[in-house]
Amino acid sequence: MGVLNSLQVDLGARSYPIEIGQGLLDGLGDGLKPLLKGRQMAVLTTETVAPLYLERAQASLTAAGFDVTPIILPDGETSKSWQALNQVFDVLIGARFERSSTVVALGGGVIGDLSGFAAASLLRGVNFVQVPTTLLSQVDSSVGGKTGINHPLGKNLIGAFYQPKKVTIDIDTLRTLPRRELLAGLAEVIKYGIIWDAELFARLERDLDAFLALEPTVVAEVIHRCCAIKAEVVSADEREAGQRALLNLGHTFGHAIENLAGYGEILHGEAVAIGMVMAADLSHWLKLCPGNDVARIRELVERAGLPLHAPKHAVEAYMDAMSRDKKVEAGVMRFVLMRGIGSAMISSDVDAAVTRQVIEAYAV
Ligand code: NAD
Ligand code: MG
């Protein structure tokens, strides 16, 4: 019980701690008290997460002297909308929020992104705290400061970079997470190994079963490593001018897969898993990455129970979807390629014929 691992995200005056452990929901209030001046607080969560964890979080915050307003939103991407944001503002402004007040996100990436943007924009910025409860949000969206909502014309088009005061990761919350959501988060975990850390990748090969059985020390250490990698990448490139783009491994193909499958049909992490295997193969065909590394990536993705094939659509439909990706700059598609497990690079001059061949091999 208690904190198993912790780290500091170094961003000068905007630095903040991440704590990873078991039973941390019950210590939430005491942990935040020294960091926050104001006592006023809102906890944003969803209809699924509220019955599971809101009471415990709220009890701990109230016991520490915080004056808590809970806000419960429907599950799903639709809560990352202007309408939902406005409802949140109605409550926060109605409760006379001040600059010293705090918005706490208790939930997955949807709640984290919405809450963060609400915190960033209300009164030009109130305190923000992340309590991520999905694996994806624990290793990815809660670190790095990207917040925002969707627009009917596209995902994540409206938002701000805004750092939390603290991230508290209670790994016990993963016990109630549907298996499919856990695996989708695992795809992003595998991604960190591929782009940055061969040792993490080898550990996943070794400890996959323990991780999936939610063995606490394994889970806490792996999450810690992922947060450290994301923190390192983000600290060096807070606003995504350069190497932060490495985090998009598998995402160029992945976004096209999500797009063609129809959002909701395939989870983001599932699409990324397929996209990573495709990017590995692309890297191999471009003579950058050894075939053995491609085989290891494919095998780990398969053992994890993640999909290996993209939905069947015409190659040109994929090419078209990829050229519409947000990451396209001046009409040039940018791929994250790998030199091998643990080392990635960005390339904007990939032969379209080779890209087509890879799509043909996977979209079956
Ligand atoms: P999510 O927030 O929709 O959560 C998935 C589902 O699991 C929801 O229904 C949720 O209510 C439920 N849930 C959450 N915690 C649970 C728990 N402990 N037990 C049982 N059920 C639980 O999805 P997600 O995968 O966490 O996040 C996806 C979102 O994150 C997307 O909107 C994406 O754009 C965003 N994202 C943001 C960043 C970033 O840097 N800000 C990075 C990656 C993804
Ligand atoms: Mg992703």
What is the b/e burial string over 127-155, where b = at least 16 CB atoms within 10 angstroms of the residue's CB?
bbbbbbbbbbbbbbbbbbbbbbbbeeeeb
> Of the listed 5, 150, 248, 259, which one is catalytic?
248
- Specify the length of the chain in residues: 364
- How many angstroms separate the alpha carbon of residue 254 from the centre of ligand 2? 9
Query: Any idea which residue has 């995902």 for tokens?
Result: 155
Per-residue pLDDT of the chain (364 residues; tens, 9 = 90+): 899 999 999 989 999 999 999 999 999 999 999 999 999 999 999 999 999 999 999 999 999 999 999 999 999 999 999 999 999 999 999 999 999 999 999 999 999 999 999 999 999 999 999 999 999 999 999 999 999 999 998 889 999 999 999 999 999 999 999 999 999 999 999 999 999 999 999 999 999 999 999 999 999 999 999 999 999 998 887 666 678 899 999 999 999 999 999 867 899 999 999 999 999 999 999 999 999 999 999 999 999 999 999 999 999 999 999 988 766 767 778 899 999 999 999 998 899 999 999 999 999 8
Dig out the tokens for 341 from the structure.
Answer: 């497990």
The residue whose C-alpha atom lies closest to atom 32 belonging to ligand 1 is 110
| Beta-bridge mates of residue 168 | 19
- The ipTM assigned to this model is 0.99
User: Exposed (0-12), middle (13-18) or buried (19+): which is 160, by Cβ within 10 Å?
Assistant: middle
Amino acid (1-letter code) at residue 157: L
Q: Return d(Cα 133, Cα 4) in angstroms, integer.
A: 16
* 166 is annotated as an active-site residue: no
pLDDT of residue 325: 75
Q: Return d(Cα 18, Cα 168) in angstroms, integer.
A: 6
Pocket of ligand 1 (CB under 6 A): 46, 48-49, 52, 75, 77, 80, 107-111, 113, 133-134, 136-137, 140-141, 144, 146, 155-156, 173, 176-177, 181
Residue 249 near residue 338 (C-beta atoms within 8 A): yes
* 179 is annotated as an active-site residue: no
pLDDT of residue 237: 74
pLDDT of residue 175: 98
77, 130, 137, 163: which to mutate for ligand 1, most atoms within 8 A of CB? 137
| Beta-bridge mates of residue 146 | 161
Domains of the chain: 3-177 (3.40.50.1970), 180-362 (1.20.1090.10)
Q: Return d(Cα 116, Cα 157) in angstroms, integer.
A: 14
| Beta-bridge mates of residue 340 | 343
Residue 220: how many other CB atoms lie within 10 Å: 18
- How many angstroms separate the alpha carbon of residue 266 from the centre of ligand 2? 13
Query: Any idea which residue has 């806490």 for tokens?
Result: 220
- CB within 8 Å of 45: residues ≥ 6 apart: 53, 54, 70, 71, 72, 73, 105, 106, 107, 111
Q: Return d(Cα 212, Cα 191) in angstroms, integer.
A: 16
Query: Any idea which residue has 């290996």 for tokens?
Result: 308
Q: How far is CA 95 from CA 87, 117, 131, 169, 186, in A?
A: 12, 18, 22, 27, 38
